[in-house]
Amino acid sequence: MEGVDHLAFERNKAQFDVDEMKIVWAGSREDFELSDRISRLVASDPVFRKDDRAALGRKELFKNTLRKAAHAWKRVIELRLSGEFSALEPEAYKLRAFVDQPAFTDLHWGMFVPAIQGQGTDEQQQKWLPLAYRMQIIGCYAQTELGHGSNVQGLETTATFDPKTDEFVIHSPTLTSSKWWPGGLGKVSTHAVVYARLIIDGQDYGVHGFIVQLRSLDDHLPLPGITIGDIGMKFGNAAYNTMDNGVLTFDHVRIPRNQMLMRVSQVTREGKYVHSNVPRQLVYGTMVYVRQKIVADASVALSRAVCIATRYSAVRRQFGSHNGGLETQVIDYKTQQSRLFPLLASAYAFRFVGEWLLWLYTDVTERLKAKDFSTLPEAHACTAGLKSLTTTATADGIEECRKLCGGHGYLCSSGLPELFAVYVPACTYEGDNIVLLLQVARHLVKTVSQLSTGNKPVGTTAYMARLEQLLQYHSDVKKAEDWLKPNVVLEAFEARAARMCVACAQNLSKFSNPEEGFQELAADLVEAAVAHCQLIVVSNVYALSLLHKHLGDFISTGCIDPKQGSLANEQLRNLYSQVRPNAVALVDAYNYTDHYLGSILGRYDGNVYPKLYEEAWKDPLNDSIVPDGFKEYIQPLLKQQLRNARL
Ligand SMILES: CCCCCCCCCCCCCCCCCCCC(=O)SCCNC(=O)CCNC(=O)[C@H](O)C(C)(C)COP(=O)(O)OP(=O)(O)OC[C@H]1O[C@@H](n2cnc3c(N)ncnc32)[C@H](O)[C@@H]1OP(=O)(O)O
Ligand SMILES: Cc1cc2nc3c(=O)[nH]c(=O)nc-3n(C[C@H](O)[C@H](O)[C@H](O)COP(=O)(O)OP(=O)(O)OC[C@H]3O[C@@H](n4cnc5c(N)ncnc54)[C@H](O)[C@@H]3O)c2cc1C
């Protein structure tokens, strides 16, 4: 059966041009060619092998990660994948994506470098960025502490200005102030951007970023006053254990004054605190950047899981055999379709919404350069909300795909357990998803409350300008096909989001203390924020399955009635039938190599069973026929039973 394409029959059914769809998915022909070239380059390089990962112990796994990161960097230089200095070029980013192993380099390039770019002055950038671009120093982002992560303003590490020596003294005053979690910190980083409370002359000026050297550039030992290590094994086997998330404490460590990141505010030689004419929230800018990246990556993780589940569902057969004929492909069961196809649609939807968010982020960045800060709240709300929405849906979606693959989905060789374990912390890192939705809710409530003062809502809240109309709205859907009109779906989503936001704002106004009201109504506020974020996705693409999933909201807010809900469901079933012949082609359009998918169930050729069988024999337990430990632990039991039987 080797080499036979078990899915050829499925591929012949496709009703659209897969090659054209590959370009749509990639973004452009140029992007497609680049991804295609780099994914093949990675797949054919033995150093980037990953099928042995599940069996490696932590130390071997970590060394293997260091080897891959060093090799990736060598390839970037050799192939001139990046410009003269930076690896933040699309080629290098793609190489990292296809290597598919989290490493310290993610934090170096993804957070340390952007923190200096966004928060450093011109002089600081000139000094530090060339070193970082050449990886002559390796950095991480040390914000979270043992006692505080979400509440950034609650951080305890201090940076006290010493006017006598023109230095800051970085100190960890309590156990809970230990830095805890930063990726790349535990074993690799030589430097960190450390977030600490700025103290001048006994006064606390809040949290600011500081560049701190942690380890010697000669022997890699921690510098005096610094205690540093890895925080221990995390969820999953290989998964995120390739990363050295670290713990760090400072005992009065001195750094020069010019190592405070001073673009947003400065400390002068005399110890005077000067705040530039920019919002203090720019100190949070790196998080906004990474949240946008996380949204762009959600579609990648979800599409991998969907690709595996779709191909396997077409290969797998259960029940329904008549007269000795073939059994039914599980993809033909309506229940399988109703669980799988909305995820397939979501992967595409998140791909497009990720592109849109990149556009929004680029626009805001350009405005910030021109000192226009007006769109910052919208950028924060969109990145926070979409990060939360897409990572929650993706993590849940990967787990659903595992279940869609039945028992075989639970095997590491399906690729799904590791994909889930690597992905699921995205719901927590870069902002806990609930905490971020509450940020969106604050933005929405503020928008509603400002309507009465004549403030015109902009950006993604622009629909609130039609509040009167949306509060009167009732869907005029009469037949199932009406739900195919994008405007009909969009209006229903707008009305639902607007009504949920207004209900929250009205309930909040009943509290004399708004903060108390916000705490009390937090669960409703989160639901309103989700409704708003779903509207953003729907306004960029089409999503009827979401309406079906949240039918309760649409009916209880009076946007549609139960009959219209049933019509939506009917239309959804029609759509599943239309997707069915195209399903395998739609996942082929991702153009993933078997190396990248890392899944026997998702193999391009569909040759699942012989390969699963072959793979089982590679497990270290099968190295010997009789297991280690037989003589000590099994044989005595068997003998004891024998003795008892004789008695
Ligand atoms: C070999 C070659 C290799 C090449 C490799 C290339 C690789 C690149 C890889 C790139 C990928 C990167 C992958 C990274 C992996 C990620 C790892 C994870 C890292 C982390 O987790 S870092 C730590 C993240 N921590 C958090 O996210 C903490 C969450 N908490 C917060 O953000 C805040 O504390 C919170 C919740 C927003 C509250 O802040 P607070 O100050 O208390 O704010 P208020 O609620 O009082 O609001 C005040 C005011 O500010 C507004 N606000 C808040 N945040 C922002 C913001 N970010 N931007 C703008 N405005 C903000 C808020 O809306 C309020 O506004 P008002 O108008 O209402 O006053
Ligand atoms: C794999 C991984 C990598 C990480 N990498 C880094 C890194 O490189 N650098 C770094 O600085 N940090 C890093 N972090 C830390 C990460 O950013 C924090 O864990 C994250 O911001 C969540 O904060 P927390 O742990 O304090 O959660 P908590 O805030 O303690 O959350 C616990 C629970 O409380 C709830 N909760 C908290 N506040 C509220 C509220 N106001 N209202 C309602 N509910 C609330 C949350 O929803 C959650 O259910 C990493 C974390 C992980 C898991």
Whether the per-residue pLDDT at 328 is higher than 60: the answer is yes
Ligand 2 in contact with 429 (CB < 6 A)? yes
How far apart CA 422 and CA 323 sit, in angstroms, is: 45
The mean per-residue pLDDT over the stretch 269-290 comes to 92
- What is the 430 CA–ligand 2 centroid distance (Å)? 8
What confidence score (pLDDT) does residue 195 get?
98
Within its chain, how far is the Cα of 178 from the centroid?
Answer: 25
- What is the 422 CA–ligand 2 centroid distance (Å)? 16
List, in order, residues 6 or more apart from 637 with CB less than 8 Å away. none
Q: 39 falls in which pLDDT band (50, 70, 90)?
A: very high
Closest to 376 in 3D by CA, of 286, 295, 285, 437? 285
Ligand 2 in contact with 240 (CB < 6 A)? yes
Ligand closest to CA 76? 1
How far apart CA 643 and CA 591 sit, in angstroms, is: 62
How far apart CA 35 and CA 22 sit, in angstroms, is: 11
Q: Which tens digits make up the pLDDT trace of 97-135? A: 999 999 999 999 999 999 999 999 999 999 999 999 999
Q: Which tens digits make up the pLDDT trace of 507-542? A: 999 999 999 999 999 999 999 999 999 999 998 776
Of these residues, 10, 156, 400, 430, which one is catalytic?
430
How far apart CA 258 and CA 280 sit, in angstroms, is: 19
Candidates 1.10.730.10, 1.10.645.10, 2.40.110.10, 3.40.50.10860; CATH matching 138-281: 2.40.110.10
Amino acid at 369: K
Candidates 3.30.365.10, 1.20.140.10, 1.10.3720.10, 1.20.1530.20; CATH matching 1-34+282-641: 1.20.140.10
What confidence score (pLDDT) does residue 1 get?
44
Q: Which tens digits make up the pLDDT trace of 172-202? A: 999 999 999 999 999 999 999 999 999 999 9
Most confident residue range from 72-76, 194-198, 282-286:
194-198
What confidence score (pLDDT) does residue 82 get?
59
Nearest atom within ligand 1 for CA of residue 435: 36
Pocket of ligand 1 (CB under 6 A): 72-73, 76, 87, 92-93, 96, 105-106, 109-111, 141, 143-144, 149-153, 183, 281, 284, 287-288, 290, 293, 376-377, 380, 429-431, 435, 439, 442
Q: 87 falls in which pLDDT band (50, 70, 90)?
A: low
- DSSP string for 4-41: --TTHHHHHT--S-HHHHHHHHHSSHHHHHHHHHHHHH
Within its chain, how far is the Cα of 517 from the centroid?
Answer: 31
430 an active-site residue? yes
What confidence score (pLDDT) does residue 89 get?
76
Q: Where are the alpha helices (DSSP H) in 27-167?
A: 29-43, 58-78, 90-99, 104-107, 113-119, 122-133
Is 144 annotated as ligand-binding?
A: yes
Q: Which tens digits make up the pLDDT trace of 342-386? A: 999 999 999 999 999 999 999 999 998 898 999 999 999 999 999
Nearest atom within ligand 1 for CA of residue 143: 23
- List the structure tokens of 605: 């050729």
pTM (two decimals): 0.96
Whether the per-residue pLDDT at 646 is higher than 70: the answer is no
Is 407 annotated as ligand-binding?
A: no
Q: 543 falls in which pLDDT band (50, 70, 90)?
A: confident
Range(s) for CATH 1.20.140.10 in the chain? 1-34+282-641
How far apart CA 25 and CA 30 sit, in angstroms, is: 12
The mean per-residue pLDDT over the stretch 74-84 comes to 75
Q: From start to end of 506-600, where are the E strands?
A: none
Closest to 491 in 3D by CA, of 528, 540, 539, 541? 539
Whether the per-residue pLDDT at 5 is higher than 60: the answer is yes
Q: Strand 158-162 to strand 191-200: parallel, antiparallel, or no bridges (unpaired)?
A: parallel
Range(s) for CATH 2.40.110.10 in the chain? 138-281
Ligand 1 probe mutation, 134, 194, 380, most atoms within 8 A of CB: 380
